Amino acid sequence: MKEIYFHICAIPLFTMILIVCYSRKMTKGNANRLFLAMTVLSLISTVADLIMVILSYQLPLTDAERLLDEVLGYVYLSLHNLTNVVILLFLLSLTRMTSLIQKKRIKFVISLPYVLIVAFLIQNIFTHTIFSVTSEAGYARGVLMPMIYIMAALYGIGGLGYCIYSKRFLAKNKWVSLLCMYLLSYFAVAVQFFKPKLLLEMFCNGLGIMGVMLSVMRPEERMDSMVGMESWKSYREDLRNILRSGEQVAIVVIRLPNSREILSFLGEHKYNDYVSEIGNALRALPWNHPNHVELYFERPGTIYLIVDKDEKEMESIGDRLYAELGIRLQEYAANGVRFEPQVCLIRCPDDLKKAEDIISLGHMFYTFDSGRENTFQAKELVSSRVFAIRSHMEEILKRAIQEQNIVMHYQPIYDVRTGCFHSAEALARIVDPEFGLISPGIFIPASEELGLIVHIGDEVLEQVFRFISEHDLEALGLEYIEINLSVAQCMQSVLPEKIRHLQQKYNVDPRHVNLEITETTFENISEVVMENVHELIRMGYTFALDDYGIGYSSIQRVNHFPLKLIKIDKSMLDEVSSRNGRMILEHTVHMMRSIEKQLVVEGAETRVAVDLLKKMDCDYIQGYYFSRPLPAEDFVRFLEEHK
Ligand code: C2E
Ligand code: MG
Ligand code: MG
C-alpha cells in the first residue's frame, strides 16, 4: 500500500492549486488557462492512476472492474501525455511565443508526438500492444509501450530545452521555478525507473506546478485588481516579448481624457468601477479571436488592448464601445462624467518596431492633430517631424547639452504706461544638427521627465548672464531680463551659489534679472525652495509668477509669496471674446492691482487685444503683436529701431 501514499498526497495538492487559482481569479488570459488545464489534467491522471493501482491489489478483477481498469488506462495515458503538451504551450505562452504555434510547421512538430500517442492508443483497442487488462493479471504493459515513453520523452527534452533557452526572456525567479518544475519531474522519472513501485511522479509534478504558481502565476504582480485588467507593467513586459517574437498584433490605446479630474470627482472607488465597466464592455465586443484580446490599464486613465492583427473594424472601436456601454454612459453623463475616449491604433511591427516608441506614442498621440476627431492612426503620426523629434528626445537633449546647441531667444515686453519696451523674456530653443529648431514646448517637459532640465537650465542661466554683461540694458531701455526657472532647478540647494558665481563671472547687477517660477514650484514647496527664494531675494533678485490662470491658481499663494510680478497666461486672454472670460480677466487685473502686484499679460496677438488690455489698465503686455521671441542680435536691433 505504501507506494500510493505519494499519489494520495498529490490529489489534495492539485486540488489546492485549483482552488487558489479560482479564488485569485486566475482564469482569464492564455497563460492562466493553460496553467489551469495542466493542473486539471494532472489531477485527473493522478486519480485515474490511483484507482488503477488500487484495482491491481484486488486481483482477479470482476468484469466491471476490468472494464473500468481498461478505460482508466486510456484516460491516464492520453491525459498524462497531453499534460506534457500543455506545459510546453504554457511555456511558449509565458514567453509570448504564441505566434510560433500559429505557424503550420511548428504546429505540426509540436503536435506530432501526441498524435502518434493517440494513434497508438486507438490501435491498442484491437491489438493490446500498448497495454492490456485481464481479470487475472490486471493491467500489464505491452510490447509497444516504450513507444509512448519515447514520445513523452520528446516533450520532456523539448520542454526542458526551451525552458533553458527562455532564460533570456524571463525574470530570474520565474525561470528558476519553471526549470525546477522540469527537473523535479526528471528526478521522479529517474526514481521510478529504479524503483518502479514508488509512484513519485505525480507528486513531484504537483510540487513543480505549485512552485510555478507561487513564483510565476502572480496576478498581484500582473493585475490591477481594482479594475480587473492587467497592469501597465505587464503591458510593457508583454510588448517587449511580442516584438521579440515577431508576432503581428494591433495595439489599441484608449485614453480617457480628464481622467485625473474624473477620478477626483467620482472618488477612487467609483472611478475603479467606471474603468472596469469600460474594460468589460471592451471584452464584450464581438471580437474574431476573443482569446487573443488582452487588456491593460495605466493609471490614471489609459487602457491598452493587444489584439490579433486580423481583427477587423478596428477604426470604429470608439463607436463600438459607445454602443456597448449604451445606457450606462447616460447614467455617468447625468452625473457629470462625459465619456470621450481618444483612440490610437498601432499595428506592430508594421507601424513601429521598438517597444519604447510604442510606449511613448501611447503617451502622446493625442497631442497630435488627427484628421478624424479622436481616432489616431499610428501610421500617419509616426511619419511626422514631431514624432521623430519626440522619439529621439533623449539623444537630442544630451547632444544639446554636450555640443551647446541651446540658443536663447528674447521676447520684448511692452510697458503700457510709457509706451516703450521695458523688459524681455529669455526663451530657450534647441538648434539640433539633425532636426533643426526645436521649441521648448516639446523639449522642456521632456528634459524634466528625463532628469536633464538642470543641465539645460544651467546653460540658459549662463547664456542670459553673458547676454546681460555684453549689452547695456539701460541704453536699450530695458529694466531686466526674465529667466524661466523650472521646479527641479529651484529644488537644488546650490542654486543661489550658481547664480552668485555667474553674477561675479559676468559682473551682472541682480536688478537686471527677474526669475520666473510657476505655481508648481509652490506645490513642491520644500525648505530648500523657500530658502533659495529668500536667499536670492537677499542677493537682490526679484521673482515673477508665470502662467497664472492655468490649473488651480490661488490668489492666497500670490499674496503670501514674495513676488514682484504676476504673468497672466495666454489662455486667459484667449477667453476674452466671451462675456465671462472678459469679466474674469478684468477682475484678475483689478485684484492684482489691489494687492499691489505688477501684471504682465501674455499672448497678445492682435491690435484689439492690446487695446483691450490697455483699457483694463494692466501694466505690461507680451505678445506676437509686438514681436515674436527673437535671436539675440535681431532682438537688439529690434529694440534699437523701436526706442
Ligand atoms: P512661458 O514662460 O509662459 O513663455 C511664454 C510663451 O508664450 C513662449 O513660448 C512665447 O513664445 C509664447 N508667446 C508669447 N507671445 C505669444 C503670442 O502672442 N501668441 C502665442 N501663441 N504665443 C506667444 P515658447 O518660447 O514656445 O516657450 C514655451 C514655454 O517653455 C515657456 O512658457 C516656458 O514655460 C518654457 N520655457 C521656455 N524657455 C525656457 C527656459 O529657458 N527654461 C525653462 N525652465 N522653461 C522654458
Ligand atoms: Mg515664462
Ligand atoms: Mg507664461
Is 90 exceeded by the pLDDT of residue 559? Answer: no
Q: Whose CA is nearest to atom 22 of ligand 1?
A: 603
pLDDT at 525: 66
98 pLDDT band (50/70/90 cuts)?
A: low
pLDDT band per the 50, 70, 90 thresholds, residue 524: low
Question: How many angstroms separate the alpha carbon of residue 601 from the centre of ligand 1?
Answer: 13
Poorest-pLDDT segment among 236-245, 268-277, 390-399, 476-485 = 236-245
* CA 545 to centroid of ligand 1, rounded, Å: 13
The closest residue, in CA terms, to atom 44 on ligand 1 is 486
Mean local confidence (pLDDT), 123-130: 95
- Fold of the domain built from segment(s) 221-387: Alpha-Beta Plaits (3.30.70)
- pLDDT winner (highest mean) among 241-255, 301-315, 614-628: 614-628
Which ligand 1 atom sits nearest the alpha carbon of residue 408? Answer: 41
Please, what is the average pLDDT of the chain?
A: 90
Q: Residue 434 C-alpha to ligand 3 middle, in angstroms? A: 29
Q: Is the pLDDT of residue 388 over 80?
A: yes
- In contact, 274 and 337? CB cutoff 8 Å: yes
Q: What is the pLDDT of residue 372?
A: 62
Please say whether the beta carbons of 364 and 342 come within 8 A: no
| 421 in Cβ contact with 412 (< 8 Å) | yes
Kindly report the protein residue whose alpha carbon is nearest to atom 34 of ligand 1: 484
State in Å: Cα 183 to ligand 2 middle: 64
pLDDT bucket at 458, cuts 50 / 70 / 90:
very high
pLDDT: which is higher, 268 or 97: 268
Lowest mean pLDDT: which of 114-123, 247-256, 382-391?
A: 382-391
Among 3.40.50.2300, 3.20.20.450, 3.30.70.360, 3.10.580.10, name the CATH number for the domain at 392-641.
3.20.20.450
Of 341, 373, 343, the residue nearest 275 (C-alpha): 341
How many CB atoms are located within 10 Å of the residue 83 CB?
A: 25
Res 447 pLDDT > 90: yes
Is the predicted pLDDT of residue 592 greater than 70, yes or no? yes
Is there an atom of ligand 1 within 6 Å of 13 CB? no
Backbone angles phi, psi at 305, to 5 degrees: -120, 135
Q: Which-ligand-closest: CA of 567?
A: 3
Ligand 1, pocket-test mutation among 405, 409, 439, 444, most atoms within 8 A of CB: 444
CA of 484 to the centre of ligand 2 (A): 5
The residue contributing the CA closest to ligand 1 atom 35 is 440
pLDDT at 397 over 70: yes
C-alpha of residue 505 to centroid of ligand 2, in Å: 25
426 alpha carbon – ligand 1 mean position (Å) = 9
User: Would you say the CB of residue 482 lies under 6 angstroms from ligand 1?
Assistant: no
* Domain map (residue ranges) of the chain: 5-217, 221-387, 392-641
Asked if residue 405 has pLDDT above 90, the reply is: yes
Provide the pLDDT for residue 100: 67
What is the per-residue pLDDT across 193-239, written as a single tens digit (0 to 9) for each? 888 888 899 999 999 999 999 988 877 777 888 898 989 988 998 89
Span from the CA of 475 to the centroid of ligand 2 (angstroms): 24
Q: Give the mean model confidence (pLDDT) for residues 432-447.
A: 92
What is the Cα–Cα distance from 469 to 476, expressed in whole angstroms? 13
- The identity of residue 210, as a single letter, is M
- Overall pTM surpassing 0.75 (yes/no): no
Cβ(624) – ligand 1 distance below 6 Å = yes
For 548, phi and psi rounded to 5 degrees?
-65, 135
Q: How far, in Å, are 181, 382, 388, 439 from residue 434 at the CA level?
A: 52, 17, 11, 14
User: Which atom from ligand 1 is nearest to the alpha carbon of 453?
Assistant: 44
Residue nearest to atom 17 of ligand 1 (CA): 603
Which among 416, 426, 431 is positioned nearest to 461, based on CA atoms?
426
Residue 97 has pLDDT above 80, yes or no: no
Between CA 508 and CA 468 the distance in angstroms is 7
**pLDDT tens-place string over residues 621-640:** 999 999 999 999 999 999 99
> Is it the case that residue 553 has pLDDT exceeding 70?
yes
Lowest mean pLDDT among 51-65, 68-82, 468-482: 51-65
Confidence band for 99, pLDDT divided at 50, 70 and 90: low
Q: 428 in ligand 1 pocket by Cβ < 6 Å?
A: yes
Instruction: State yes or no: pLDDT of 47 exceeds 70.
Output: yes
How much is the average pLDDT of 285-295? 82
Substitution candidate for ligand 1 out of 602, 613, 635 with most atoms within 8 A of CB: 602
602 CB near ligand 1 (under 6 Å): yes
pLDDT at residue 1, as a whole number: 66
Question: At 304, is the pLDDT very low, low, confident or very high (cuts 50, 70, 90)?
Answer: very high
For residue 169, the SS3 value is helix
Ligand showing the shortest atom-to-Cα distance for residue 428? 1
- Mean pLDDT of all residues in 189-196: 88
Asked whether the predicted pLDDT for residue 255 surpasses 70, the reply is yes
Residue whose CA lies nearest to ligand 1 atom number 43: 484
Asked if residue 315 has pLDDT above 90, the reply is no
Whether the CB of 546 sits within 6 Å of ligand 1: yes
Q: Which atom of ligand 1 is nearest to the CA of 483?
A: 41
Helix residue ranges per DSSP H, 129-267: 145-165, 172-194, 201-215, 219-222, 232-245, 259-266
pLDDT score of 62: 93
Q: Does the pLDDT at position 127 exceed 80?
A: yes
Q: In this structure, which residue's CA is closest to atom 13 in ligand 1? A: 603
Measured in angstroms, how far is the CA atom of residue 524 from the centroid of ligand 2?
18
Ligand 1, from 397, 484, 568: best to mutate by most atoms within 8 Å of Cβ? 484
* Beta carbons within 10 angstroms of residue 524's beta carbon: 12
How far away, in angstroms, is 367 Cα from ligand 3 center? 19
Name the 3-class secondary structure at 92. Answer: helix
d(CA 641, CA 643): 6
Atom index in ligand 1 nearest the CA of residue 427 equals 38
The answer to whether the 5-217 and 392-641 domains have the same CATH topology is no
Share of the chain residues as helix, strand and coil, in percent rounded to the nearest 5 = 60, 15, 25
Rounded Cα gap, residues 394 and 388, in angstroms: 12
Q: Which CATH class is domain 5-217?
A: mainly alpha
